[in-house]
Chains A and B, each alone.
Chain A
Amino acid sequence: MTAHFLPSLLQGAMPLQGVLGGMLIGLAAALMLLGAGRIAGVSGLAARALSLTRGDTPLPLAAAFVFGLPLGALLFQSGAGPIVARYPPTVWLLALGGLLVGFGTRLGSGCTSGHGVCGMARFSRRSLVATLTFIVAGAATVAATNAVGWGWR
């Protein structure tokens, strides 16, 4: 309990790994932009890889990117050891969350990577509005679920 009274903003956080991992994510997006001339937006590329959207991104390019994501995580785990991952306690939170994320990212044309990283770095007003909106909606959802006892961490 005393932890709450300490200046404990960084307690439990991973600032160094966060910045380094973030820079790798930035490098990945930079490679996609300067190499293939496209936005590294995960939701858009995933939809494209599954032919769930039209658009001029070649299917093999989208599929290769989507395949690379788990490959990279696996590679990291094989070097660094098991990664801590704490999931929601019930399947319906995962399923409802996934459904909303899938529908919402298509309707809003992007997620944390496309709007949050690529668009924001380009000072796109659309991406700024989207990013603020999904952070506020996410924070409100966490606060609301905590308040009614459905919270988890």
Chain B
Amino acid sequence: MKSLVGLVSGMLFGVGLALSGMTDPARVRGFLDFFGHWDPTLAFVMGGALAVMSVAWAIQRRIERPLADGRFHLPGTVLIDWRLVAGAALFGIGWGLAGLCPGPAIASLAINPGPAAIFVAAMVAGMGLFRLFDRFGAGQ
């Protein structure tokens, strides 16, 4: 049941990305091009998603448990540390270079398999590198 929720959620997410033009890396790069010809489409996408999701959070606060699980599993971290900021900065640089973030990249595997696969393979490699870094070099 939980996996079905995941599948339907992923599919809705993929349809939303494709409909909103977010599977077009040049359009995403256009949003980040504040000093050139700025493309505000991504701001509309964020606005639409935030509007729906803030209602979902309001509902979440009023119910005891999710439909298909015994309890909520939500991040409770509040610490704003160097990992958060450095990680977001590295992610932003990659996002600006390629015009892709994880959602659109994975969604594009079916519709633009060639370039999307290169990006996703590199992304998985980056996640693997982080795992090594986290284990051996993080200086915990």
Q: Are A37 and B107 in contact (CB under 8 A)?
A: no
Taking A84-B24, A98-B100, A109-B84 as contacts, is the C-beta distance between A47 and B127 under 8 angstroms? yes
Taking A36-B69, A94-B119, A109-B84 as contacts, is the C-beta distance between A83 and B53 under 8 angstroms? no
Q: Which residues of B in the span 61-85 have a Cβ within 8 Å of any Cβ on A? A: 63, 65-69, 71-75, 77-80, 83-85
Q: Are A71 and B97 in contact (CB under 8 A)?
A: no
Residue among B34, B74, B89 having the largest count of chain A Cβ atoms under 10 Å: B89
Band of interface residues on A: 35 or more
CA distance A7 to B9 in the complex (A): 38
> Does A91 interact with chain B (Cβ within 8 Å)?
yes
Which label, helix, strand, loop or mixed, suits the secondary structure of the A interface? helix
Q: Chain B residue with minimal CB distance to A86?
A: B26
B-contact bits for A45-86, CB 8 A (1 contact / 0 none): 011001011001110111111111111111111001001111
Q: Chain B residue with minimal CB distance to A23?
A: B48
CA distance A135 to B88 in the complex (A): 9
List of B residues within 8 angstroms of A67 by Cβ: 7, 10
> Does B136 interact with chain A (Cβ within 8 Å)?
no
CA distance A72 to B108 in the complex (A): 10
CA distance A68 to B101 in the complex (A): 16
Q: Are A101 and B98 in contact (CB under 8 A)?
A: yes
List of A residues within 8 angstroms of B26 by Cβ: 85-87, 152-153
List of A residues within 8 angstroms of B7 by Cβ: 64-65, 67-68, 71
CA distance A86 to B27 in the complex (A): 8
Q: Are B14 and A72 in contact (CB under 8 A)?
A: yes
- The residue from B12, B17, B33, B128 contacting A31, defined by CB atoms under 8 A apart: B12
16 CB < 8 A contacts A-B? A13-B40, A18-B47, A19-B44, A31-B12, A32-B5, A37-B66, A43-B102, A50-B127, A86-B25, A100-B97, A102-B122, A107-B83, A136-B92, A137-B95, A141-B92, A146-B33
Contacts A18-B21, A25-B16, A101-B94 known; list 11 others, CB within 8 Å.
A9-B40, A12-B37, A26-B53, A36-B68, A96-B97, A98-B122, A108-B90, A112-B102, A129-B80, A141-B32, A142-B36
